Structures are given as structure tokens and as C-alpha cells.
Amino acid sequence: MTAPDSSASRPGRRQLLRAGSLGAGALGVGAASIGLDRTLGGRGAAAAPPSAASALHGGEAVPFHGEHQAGIETPAPAAATFVGLDLREEVDREGVLRMLRLLTDDAARLTRGEPPLADTEPEMATDPAALTVTVGFGRGLMERAERAAPSWLDPLPAFGIDELQDEFTGGDLMLQVAAEDPVTVSHALRMLLKDARAFTRVRWVQPGFRRSPGIVAPGATMRNLFGQLDGSANPEAGTPHFSHVVWIEEGPFAGGTSMVIRRIRMDLDGWDEVDRTAREQSVGTRLDDGAPLSGGTETSAADFEQVSANGFPVIGEFSHMRRARGVDDGEHQEIFRRPYNYDLAPPPGGGALSESGQIFVSFQADLLGQFLPIQQRLDTLDLLNQWTTPIGSAVFAIPPGCAEDEHIGESVLR
């Protein structure tokens, strides 16, 4: 066979759909304008009807390629579906690599607003809506690919508070597919899963949601279904501090991170019985603005020494924030949380109004040194545990981002 011209190997980024027009609008908006679009869409809505241009978010695109995978430091969009996949028994190293090449090509196209190859619904791919596709590896995938897994890549130790269900736990491969629009997420995920199907079986699927675009200021802390501002202590994206907390610095996974995903059932019916003061004390922050009970604003440093008139700490020793921060243990660890809410139909036959909770997602450079001590403290004592129950748990190694001529995870599977 004649050797193909070298150009045959290069990606045809600009070759869009056959007419070259369906994807062009989305590309035109591009990554450069993402911040601007969000700013425009965020505030004007209440005062006056937004212009058509500022109201539309479909064209927003987040670059897929880069030093880090998108979907971690990039703003958390409104809709995300997390999927845990198990490799089929017969898939070997070569199969893993073939799968990752397919998923990479799909993700690169979808995030640009282009249909992947063989997309049977190409019109559903043209509004990327800030779509990101983030891929994580479990120990099973690393072993199948015949490469050493990071030593920390194991299930978390069993915690006393856990009531884990197999259907939300573990997995060889994780896909986080997120966008400002659930329809975009649905189509992107289906295209990815169609290519993963020959290699994997779906183990679990967890759809989640945050505020819709244009509802609150970009970057505002999410409110969870308990009504709490959730994530106030997060490191700020784009700062050296964020990099220090999140990105692995050395080794094959440099530029990657560790991901913990835990499904936390929240007992909204039980929470209904709790008055506002007790709710605030359980966490140690004010419900309205997220400020520490010691005063200030959401971003103020908490004063853990402050005591009330009768001598008790204002931010109680049992409070979630105090425990998470390690105040009384002389420790301090940080993680980056990027959670999503879930709110589903209740189990049939019971009296519950809903099956609700949080898909807790955290990223940290050092799973054992950062995440684990926090979780161990919260397992030991955290008033919030009374209304929350972990029912799923998984840990994944997030490989660094890839260049345009690489597939996801290429540097760690080489």
C-alpha cells in the first residue's frame, strides 16, 4: 500500500460538517469570549431583557487541549453527568489505547461544537455550551494498560458514616461530561458512550445540576439543596494557590490530579425539622451570605477563638467547617470542591418526598495528604453527618491534558 502523504495524518480541525457551516458559528464564539459572554449574561437579565446575543450561551466553547484537562479549573457549568465504566474482560492494553483515541477525538470535536465522526444526530452537536469532557482512570484501567497505577489509586478506606452502594461505587474509567445545557450533555455523553461500548460496560451514571447560566454572578459559590453556600473555602481558579492545591507536580501524572467522587444522600425531610440557628451551627456559617458565624463576609477568615457570652465557641467544635479545617487537630489541608446537586424521584412505597443529595467531587494533588485527613476528621465528628449519608464513592487518577496530536492519558500510558 502506498504510504499516505504526511498531511493525511494531520487533524483537519477546520473541516467541519460537510457544508462547513453547522459548526462554524460555535467556533466563531470560541474560548476567547467565554468570560465576556458569562459576564454579559449574568447581570443584565433582571434590569432589562437581555439582547439576543448576550442571552445565548450555546456557542461558548472551552478548549479541550492543554496542559490540564478541562472541567476542573474551568468554571463549573450548570449540568454535569458523571459516568463510571468497567472495562470488558477481553479488553487489553491495545484495546484501552484504541478506546482512548476514539474518546479523545469525540471529545475534541464535541467541545468545539462539531459532531464526532458517525454522529447520527449531528445537529445536536452544534451548541457546545461550554462543554467539557474530563476523563479519569481507575486502578483497573492502569493495570489493563500494563502501566503502574499511582500508589494512592485505591478505594478510600471504609468510613463509619458510609452506607455505600455498589451501584455508585468504583469503576475503571470515569467520564465527567459537563455543559451549560443538559441537552448538550446528553448528546455528548451518548456519542462518547457509543464509542466506549465496545470496550466497557456502564457501571453507574450520576447526573447533577448547579445554577443555570445567567442566574448568579459567574464564580459565585453554589448553594446546595440544604440551602447552604457550598464551596466558599475553595482555592481561586487561575491562581498559583489553586495550582498548588490541585495539580500534581511530579511523575507521570504531573499536570493531572486526583478525583474523589462521593454520592452524598441528603435527608431533606430530616433537615426540615431543624431550625435556622441549629442549621447554621451545624456548619459554622450563616445561611444567607455564607459568612463564618464569627462575622464578616463569605470570604472572611473564620475566628475559631471567638466565644459566646456563656463561654462556648461561636463556631462549634462539632461544626462542619471547624472539623473540615482541622482547627482543633493542629492540621490544615485544602482541597478543591466542584460538587453537583441531584434531586430524583423517591424510592417507591416510602414516605419520602425525594431522593436528593450532592455529587461531592473534589480534586487535590495529594489524595492521602489532603483529602483523606479531612474526610477522617469529618467521619469522626461533624454535626452535619446527622443529615448526610455517603452512598457512593470512587477515586480516579486524572491524567494531564493532552496536545492536539495526543490522546487522553497518552503521557501516563506511554
Partner 1 sequence: MFRTTPPNPASALPALTGARLPRRAALAALLLPLAACAAEPTQDSGAGADADADGVAADDGALTIADAWVKAAEEHMTSAFGILRNDTDTDLVLSGARTDASAQVELHETASDGSGGMSMQEKEGGFPLPAGEELVLEPGGNHLMLIDLAAPLLPGDEAELILEFADGTELPFTATVKDFAGAQEHYEPEGSMGSGASDGGGEHATGHGDDE
Catalog residues that contact partner 1 under the rule CB under 8 A.
1-5, 7-15, 18, 88, 90-92, 94-95, 97-99, 101-102, 104-105, 108-109, 117-118, 120, 194-195, 197-199, 201, 404-407
Distance CA 324, CA 231 (A): 12
Distance CA 197, CA 183 (A): 21
Radius of gyration (Cα) for the chain, nearest Å?
22
Q: Which is nearer to partner 1, 109 or 210 (CB)?
A: 109
Q: Which is nearer to partner 1, 365 or 413 (CB)?
A: 413
Q: Count Cβ neighbours within 10 Å for each residue of 260-285 and write b for 16 or more, e otherwise.
A: bbbbbbbbbeebeeeeeeebbbbbbb
Q: How far is the CB of 80 from partner 1 (least distance, A)?
A: 25
Q: Which is nearer to partner 1, 105 or 303 (CB)?
A: 105
Q: Which residues pair with 44 in a beta bridge?
A: none
Report the chain's terminal Cα–Cα distance, integer Å.
28
Q: Which is nearer to partner 1, 122 or 313 (CB)?
A: 122
Distance CA 392, CA 162 (A): 8
Element (H, E) at 360: strand 355-364
Q: How far is the CB of 204 from partner 1 (least distance, A)?
A: 15
Q: How far is the CB of 340 from partner 1 (least distance, A)?
A: 28
Q: How far is CA 173 from the centre of its chain?
A: 15
Residues near 380 by Cβ (< 8 Å), separated by ≥ 6? 323
Q: Which is nearer to partner 1, 22 or 287 (CB)?
A: 22
Q: How far is the CB of 193 from partner 1 (least distance, A)?
A: 10
Residues recognised as catalytic? 230
Q: How far is the CB of 348 from partner 1 (least distance, A)?
A: 25
